[in-house]
Structure 1
């Protein structure tokens, strides 16, 4: 065993002991987080406005601070971007993660404080590696480089020294210099905003390197890997990088991409590990390879609260602490954290699969669903239905989006799907019917609305050629980084925009 291996295993043991402690005592861990947040929050203008000095427990905390969406904290965040001190978190915040704005039309700028980097994002990275080493004691991933496909950052004009960009770019920019010896590509390449140029330079740099691990969003990594095969002429990625052994992925559900990655990387020794690292914080990670559940990380300086989705759209939604959650219910996630977000509704939804320890699955977004007719279809339902149709037909899906077709004077409602296949089914109608059937099986509300086509007609499905969604994203200036194709919408904004783009670009598609 080399010195590097010995150091990695020693550090991993320390991280594992800490993880084990909060798994055994989850409520104690969250109580400690609340105490730390209150201590720091009292030093801020926001904390003084809400009298955090008089808060001495969770009940007081709930009474003192309102639930907040981005619009509620935007004035304070704008002050922070202009160099304001002690606004939402003590000190001056230099970095802001620019969200792609999937929950609204404009971009959001999430503060990324030094404490959030240290206690949350980087701790999550260390814990991920520690768990991987523990599960695979004979790993050699540290005998090569890790390829991180991130976004870009730019200096925000007119806002002093503050900088904005994708979270992945901020993490790359702030990692210690020694980490450059074990990662690729070079920082200047990794942070390029021009996606096409970035792919070219990445290829020039990495094709002759020993790459042992990948990190990033599945959709954009797949584009990169296919590009590498194109320029190298290799039959698959295992032929290019025979020592590649793990992909640390997050950002979108891996379900639609799993089969495609197994074809791209046919090595029997390839592993996949999911992380839940959002702009707002690092929240959970896959601690068991045999299960796709994610362990909720309880000592990262994040206090968690949960709103049952059954009450989310009411005037006074129910808000629960960790100890109040139940198995199987869909919750909107609320966080208070070291980046200065206080009781912040981040827009993600989760479902608990285990309460000892606390494990979750990400089920979608609070605004990414279809419920035009009471069917309450969420992203998790859609992923399951598409995965089943793919399994039966042998098809593979690259991207998709769906929305309602609203009822007319003489027409019933339906759902309209736009699906991009890398391997199309021999029969699009069979694929559509299988997906429709599986949706009925996983969602009783959808089944009730589809019964005898009384409320909902069979869905309309468009199959678009490979690369169509990427072209649409390019037209919107959303290539690469953490930008994502919106999966579901309760209106026709995305569907109409994509169909119009397909028509203007002369892109043909099959429809059933």
Structure 2
């Protein structure tokens, strides 16, 4: 017999599904309303005055006055906000700073405002409600739910609280879920990731876990420790576990491994959250891609990745995007980010409604020879090469080998196996053929004898975990880059292979 909570979730899910359908059915108008509201609300800010927001009426005006920026470009404004100044990027002061790891400037402080904070919470809730509305499955709300996340402990800087996004969001879990939610606050505040996962195992192993959520690589670590302790598959330990919620990376490379760890298939919901905004979530179990959140105070622009680094690349809105094209996503938000390059590349799978996948990072690609191989392509190659085989891969990354000791340059794949291929030559050939099929530039370089076929370097067990620990990024929201255009990651992993 379902509980009152489970029963009430269904009519609530129906209402939310109706609201989402309403704006998803009017995407252009919805985005235009978001755009006009952003300009109106921010025209008296320092940024708004510096960029003549009072003169902006159309997207063409906006493009001419507001150039694309990344964090480094926006930093002078952010630093003023961090110092405590008001109405710099958005009216008033932000509620929080989401603190993330910067590439060239150390820590990055991404503002979260009174207007933007609810969109992070609502999107996560709505993803679950859309699942309930589609499947009719609401029984899981009566069980225990775990969200593997960063510490909810927040610091303060000039009157503004700061912490990891997942830690900030942890303070907004609805009251009706508080009793179901694990781990405890004490465990969640543990900073060391390995200590934290061990504590989570102790807290959850005898509970009725029905929902498990987190970045796949770190959930995998949790699953492995559960199995190590109990000796059973996760699906046997948690008999009612039937929903896995994930985000941050593509699930496909982990899918076979997870099904083996769980011992059966479970439903999953993919999310696309970031410190800068909650951009999309999977709204249908059998449709590829995630529904772009067009009504969440975020105005989206897109630039074809192929032309992104050229002078004055064309910026388009959703009405002009096409299926299957690799775009860099640019956002303007109620948190005061303006024409901001998130760094992600996306591809649209559907235009009615607008559903997309994350295809990679604009800085995470290999184009040492003009091939411009992206994350989606290496993930797809690995998926095709391991399909219908016993091969399972724990983790991998790819880098160019520009100056080999002998022969032509090549792409070097660093792979940590769970089950190694019996026929390694065939596995390499299948990877190679899939990559050539997907990327014509790469194919031309192989045919033209500029590159030789890829090579694989086997990474010993827990090698990637050792690497992440060595750079202080074990756990939380940190992820291994799928590929790099240089040897920094590759050389460090290789060095650790030899020394540890």
TM-score, L = length of structure 1: 0.93
2:490 alignment partner in structure 1? 495
- Post-superposition Cα deviations, 1:65-99, rounded to whole Å, max 9, x if no partner, equal 12111001112222222322211112222422222
Which of 435, 449, 452 pairs up with 1:457?
Answer: 452
Q: Quick one: structure 1 residues 164 and 375, their matched pair in 2 at CA, closer, same or farther if it must change by over 3 Å?
A: same
1:245 alignment partner in structure 2? 242
2:303 alignment partner in structure 1? 307
Q: Distance in 2 between matches of 1:83 and 1:7?
A: 43
Q: Quick one: structure 1 residues 333 and 51, their matched pair in 2 at CA, closer, same or farther if it must change by over 3 Å?
A: same
Mean CA deviation greater in 423-432 or 496-505:
423-432
| 5+ residue gaps, structure 2 | none
1:375 alignment partner in structure 2? 371
C-alpha contact 1:67 1:343 (8 A) present in aligned 2 = yes
Q: Quick one: structure 1 residues 214 and 409, their matched pair in 2 at CA, closer, same or farther if it must change by over 3 Å?
A: closer
Tell me the number of residue pairs that the alignment of Structure 1 and Structure 2 aligns. 499
C-alpha contact 2:6 2:138 (8 A) present in aligned 1 = no
C-alpha contact 2:253 2:382 (8 A) present in aligned 1 = yes
1:509 alignment partner in structure 2? none
Which of 347, 354, 361 pairs up with 1:358?
Answer: 354
Q: Distance in 2 between matches of 1:9 and 1:176?
A: 17
1:510 alignment partner in structure 2? none
2:257 alignment partner in structure 1? 260
Q: Distance in 1 between matches of 2:423 and 2:106?
A: 39
| 5+ residue gaps, structure 1 | 506-512
2:479 alignment partner in structure 1? 484
Q: Distance in 2 between matches of 1:39 and 1:187?
A: 40
Q: Distance in 2 between matches of 1:489 and 1:165?
A: 28
Task: Indicate yes or no: 2:33 matched with 1:28.
Answer: no
| SS of alignment partner, residue 436 of structure 1 | helix
| SS of alignment partner, residue 403 of structure 1 | strand
Q: Distance in 2 between matches of 1:444 and 1:356?
A: 29
Q: Distance in 1 between matches of 2:284 and 2:425?
A: 37
Q: Distance in 2 between matches of 1:317 and 1:100?
A: 27
1:341 alignment partner in structure 2? 337
C-alpha contact 1:195 1:480 (8 A) present in aligned 2 = yes
Root-mean-square deviation (CA), in Å? 1.9
> What are the residue-to-residue correspondences of 1:109-508 with 2, within 5 Å?
109-118=109-118, 120-152=119-151, 155-156=154-155, 159-233=157-231, 235-268=232-265, 270-407=266-403, 411-451=407-447, 454-505=449-500
Shift of 1:63: 2.0
Shift of 1:155: 4.8
Q: Quick one: structure 1 residues 258 and 7, their matched pair in 2 at CA, closer, same or farther if it must change by over 3 Å?
A: same
Shift of 1:187: 2.4
Q: Distance in 1 between matches of 2:429 and 2:12?
A: 51
Shift of 1:176: 4.2
| SS of alignment partner, residue 358 of structure 2 | strand
2:107 alignment partner in structure 1? 107
TM-score, L = length of structure 2: 0.95
| SS of alignment partner, residue 207 of structure 2 | coil
Q: Quick one: structure 1 residues 28 and 6, their matched pair in 2 at CA, closer, same or farther if it must change by over 3 Å?
A: same
Shift of 1:411: 4.5
Shift of 1:429: 3.1
Q: Distance in 2 between matches of 1:373 and 1:107?
A: 32
| SS of alignment partner, residue 400 of structure 2 | strand
Q: Distance in 2 between matches of 1:482 and 1:502?
A: 24
| SS of alignment partner, residue 441 of structure 1 | helix
Q: Distance in 2 between matches of 1:396 and 1:73?
A: 42
1:57 alignment partner in structure 2? 58
Q: Quick one: structure 1 residues 163 and 423, their matched pair in 2 at CA, closer, same or farther if it must change by over 3 Å?
A: farther
Shift of 1:124: 0.6
C-alpha contact 1:153 1:164 (8 A) present in aligned 2 = no
Q: Distance in 2 between matches of 1:66 and 1:274?
A: 31
Shift of 1:12: 1.2
